[in-house]
Amino acid sequence: MGTIVTYLTYLLERFVFNVDKADFVQYPFFMKPEDLDIHLDEIQQSAVTRLIQKLEDGRYKKNKNNCLCGNNDNCMDKLVSCIDMHGIPLDVLLCRKCGLLRAAEIFDVASNENYYRFEYRDIHNSGGRSASSYFNDQLERGESFLKIARENRIIDEVATVLEIGCGSGGILYPFHLAGKKVAGFDYDENYVGYGRGKGMALHCMGKDPSVKAEPYDLLILSHVMEHFLDPRSELLQLIEQVKPGKYVIIEVPGVFAEVPAKVLYGYPVRYFQVAHVVQFFYRDFLNLFYASLGLEILYGDENATFLLRKPHDWTPPAVVADYSSKLSGYRSLVDRHLRECYSDYRYRPDLYKLKNMGIRLLELIGLKRVVKGFLKKRGLL
Ligand SMILES: [Zn+2]
């Protein structure tokens, strides 16, 4: 009943009093798990409880996380959410200078390793997602990366491909079928084993021979960089694995991305993650960031997918760039986008919710049985 009243109030404010939908909501969007419709299975719930316990009793430690734009003064940053998508305590900040969304605090190195070892997979795999289903989900992304490489006419210059965080190899597989020599690294033995069964050289990180065997023509990092505790230095180390004059494809979560917004209800505000150091990026930020690492940008979009070239004379830049002043307009753009997305998420029900609301409304006015009988007669139920 409360939901219906809230929704009717929203409609009244929006369409009778012409209140802008972005102005109808305020930060922080999510204060406690009940503010999100969270459905966790037993394995997920147990891992979330374990993680919260370890955070509370100090077994997992966190450090302050400054913005990647160079802004060290976070006293004016906006607190957007106090929990992540699974209800785990996480303060998400909107940078007052560049509009990047980041975790206010991140695990220290030891806690981070243990978190990925003991909780991450249970929380994110929904009770053991199969290697084959993950492989199939990733195939489309692999196809899109191959398309970008073809459209930018670099594919013939690529003979070897390396992916860090390859899962079961769904992204690498289209490159494998295109005749490229592919190699991938991940932590999960089952996933890696599945990809090996498809004929690809996938390795278990930390167990199999080191990744540093030889430089590659193309390095792929798909939804990996947002997990780096120190994105700049970790990325610079990985670029060493690329041959001079050759290529890198990186994809991270994009705050303005259209592809995930079509399939993920409530994207991006519903999808903050304790595992993400930077929660969401945008194209112009990444243009400056990658350029500051000495990389040449061949392609980039708001899905935060980039194709980069490592120049022949590349050396790791010694100076950490501060480019927040070049991005000052983005804070208000991201702010408005977030409030609009949250407003849609909160007040524009998805189809599942709409159906349930309809049923509840019919119940309230006593017509549920009549309508049900009518639909049954016509074979619609
Ligand atoms: Zn910033």
Q: What is the pLDDT of residues 23-47, one digit of tens each?
A: 778 899 999 998 988 889 999 999 9
Ligand 1 center to 322 CA (angstroms)? 9
Residues 212 and 215: their CA atoms lie apart, in Å, by: 7
Averaged confidence pLDDT in the chain: 89
Residue 17 clears pLDDT 70, i.e. is over it:
no
Ligand 1 center to 218 CA (angstroms)? 29
Alpha-carbon distance values, 111 to 63, 114, 122, 279, 334 (Å)? 11, 5, 16, 19, 31
Ligand 1 center to 350 CA (angstroms)? 32
Higher pLDDT, 82 or 266: 82
Give the pLDDT band of residue 345 (cuts 50, 70, 90): confident
- Write down how long the chain is: 381
Lowest-pLDDT range, 53-57, 120-124, 148-152? 120-124
Give the pLDDT band of residue 209 (cuts 50, 70, 90): low
Query: Tokens for 239?
Result: 């670029």
Full set of structural domains in the chain with CATH:
2-127+338-347 (no CATH), 131-335 (3.40.50.150)
SS3 306: strand
Ligand 1 center to 135 CA (angstroms)? 35
Ligand 1 center to 325 CA (angstroms)? 9
Find the DSSP H helices in 224-320.
231-239, 259-263, 283-292
Model confidence, pTM: 0.86
- Of all residues in the chain, the percent with pLDDT exceeding 70 is 91
Q: Highest-confidence range of 31-45, 152-166, 310-324, by mean pLDDT? A: 152-166
Q: Which residues contact 241 (CB under 8 A, 6 or more apart)?
A: 162, 211, 212, 215, 216, 219
Average the pLDDT over 16-25 and give the result.
Answer: 73
| pLDDT value for 189 | 87
Contact (Cβ atoms closer than 8 angstroms) between residue 219 and residue 185:
no
Closest Cα to residue 131, out of 142, 121, 141?
121
Ligand 1 center to 305 CA (angstroms)? 20
Lowest-pLDDT range, 30-44, 91-105, 171-185? 30-44
Q: Identity (one letter) of the amino acid at 69?
A: C
Ligand 1 center to 256 CA (angstroms)? 16
Ligand 1 center to 20 CA (angstroms)? 27
